[in-house]
Amino acid sequence: MRRLVTLVAAAVLVLPVGGAAGRPAAAGPPPGQVAAGIRAAAGTPVCTVDDKRLPEVSGLAATEDGYVVVNDSSDVENRRRIFFLDRDCAVTRSVRYPSPPRDTEDLTRAPDGTIWIGDIGDNDRVRETVALWKLAPGAQSPVLHRVSYPDGAHDAEALLLSGDGTPIIVTKDSGTPGLYTPARALRAGQTTPLRKAGQFTLPRSSTSNPFSIFGRQLVTGGAVAPDGRRVVLRTYADALEFDVTDGDVVRAVTGGTPRVVPLPDEPQGETVTYAPDGTALLTLSEKADGESAADPVLLRYPSADREPTPSPSPSTHATPDNRPFDRDRAAESSQDVTGAFVGAVAVTLLVLVAVGGFAIWRARRRPSRQGR
C-alpha cells in the first residue's frame, strides 16, 4: 500500500494547476471544506497507538472494552497479527495467523463478536485469489477462506458485512468502486468465486488531504454501524455514510446518496469504524512518513447527523447521470455557468475595445487624406 501512495503523491506533484486541457480549474471551496459546504473540522484525539508493532494500521473495529486492529502488509513477522487494544490504545493481546497473510487491508466485526479480516490488497493486480480470514469468538487462530474475482484482479481495502453476515469487498477502483460478494457459501480449504453485486460513483469533494484529487477517489476502509442501519466508506479525505434498510448494504451503497463527514488532512487515513454506541466515527492513520513519524492517533468524529437525502430507485450501477441532484454538482454547474458568462463578457469587451479603437484610428486618418 505504501508504494502505491508514493506513486500517487508523485503524480500529484506533476499535476497541472488547471483542469482539463485548455480549461482552467474551477474555483472551489477553501481547503478543508467539501463542496457541499460542510465545514471540515479535525477529529478529536482519543488515544495514541505507540506500540512499535503497529506502524501501518489498515483495519479497525471497536469493541465494548477497546479496539481490534490489523497492519497493512508487512515483512516484519511480529506485525502480522490480529491485535486487541484496550481503551487507551495499549495492546493487550495478539493472535497469530496459521500461515502468513499476503496483504491485510481491513477488518470488520460481526454482531456476535466474530472478526473478519480482508486479505484483499493487490497493488499490482496480480493475485489470482484474495482471502478472508474469520476469527470466531474464543478461537485461537483465524480460518482462511480464499475467493476469486469473476473479472480479473482488483486492489481492495474495504470489507463490509451485510445484515445476514455476507462479506462484501469494496474495490479501490478510482472513482467507481465495485462491490463483490461470494457467489456461494464460503468453505475453508476451497476457493469460492465472487460475483459483482454492483458499483457506485464517489461524490465530488474538495476536502484537504495529502494526496489531492487522488485521495478523494479511492476507498480505503469501511464499516457497518452496530445497529446495522448505517454503513460508512472512507477515502483519504472523507467518510461517506449511507442509510441501510433491511440489512441490504449493497443496495444502500449502490442506490443511496451519502452524507459526507470530512476527515481533513489525516496523514494516511485507511481505517474507519463506528463507536460501540454508533454515535461517532473512529479513524486511525498509518505512519505515512515511516518510522520517524509521529505515532498514529485514534480520532473521533461525530457521525453525520443531517436528515438523509431520499434515495433513488434501487440500482446496481450508480453513475453521475442517474445520481440524484446534490449541492456538490449544483455548485460545480454554477461555477461552469459563471465561468462561461465571465468569459463571454470578456470577449465582448475586447471586441468593443477593438472596434472603438479602429473607429478612432479611421477618424484621425480622414483629415490627412483630404489635405492631400
- Any idea what the CATH number is for the domain that residue 137 is in? 2.120.10
DSSP for residue 74: -
Instruction: Answer yes or no: do 241 and 337 share one domain.
Output: no
Instruction: Answer yes or no: do 6 and 90 share one domain.
Output: yes
Where do the H-state alpha helices sit in 185-326? 212-215, 249-255
* Rounded Cα gap, residues 76 and 78, in angstroms: 6
Instruction: Answer yes or no: do 329 and 193 share one domain.
Output: no
Give CA torsion, residues 237, 243, 245, 248, to 10 deg: 0
Which residues lie closer than 8 Å to 115 by C-beta, 6 or more apart?
61, 68, 82, 107, 108, 109, 134, 135, 142
Instruction: Answer yes or no: do 297 and 333 share one domain.
Output: no
Instruction: Answer yes or no: do 342 and 205 share one domain.
Output: no
Long-range contacts for 92-99 (Cβ within 8 Å, ≥24 apart)? 92/66, 94/53, 95/135, 95/140, 95/141, 95/142, 96/141, 97/133, 97/141, 97/142, 98/141, 98/142, 98/144, 99/144
At 292 the pLDDT is: 76
At 96 the pLDDT is: 96
At 173 the pLDDT is: 95
Instruction: Answer yes or no: do 259 and 333 share one domain.
Output: no
Instruction: Answer yes or no: do 337 and 233 share one domain.
Output: no
* Rounded Cα gap, residues 70 and 115, in angstroms: 11
Instruction: Answer yes or no: do 58 and 99 share one domain.
Output: yes
Give CA torsion, residues 186, 187, 192, 198, to 10 deg: 0
Instruction: Answer yes or no: do 145 and 228 share one domain.
Output: yes
pTM, 2 dp: 0.76
Which of 291, 308, 324 is a domain's end point?
A: 324
Range of the domain at 144: 2-324
Report which residue type is found at 365.
Answer: R
Positions in the chain short of pLDDT 70:
1-39, 290-291, 305-372
C-alpha cell at 131: 482471502
Instruction: Answer yes or no: do 95 and 155 share one domain.
Output: yes
Angle at 225 between CA 147 and CA 305, to 5 degrees: 135
- Max Cα–Cα distance, the chain, nearest Å: 110
Which residues lie closer than 8 Å to 99 by C-beta, 6 or more apart?
144
How many domains is the chain built from?
2
At 73 the pLDDT is: 78
Query: Is the CB of residue 66 less than 8 Å from the CB of residue 84?
Result: yes
Which of 307, 324, 341 is a domain's end point?
A: 324
Instruction: Answer yes or no: do 339 and 319 share one domain.
Output: no
Instruction: Answer yes or no: do 237 and 152 share one domain.
Output: yes
C-alpha cell at 306: 443531517
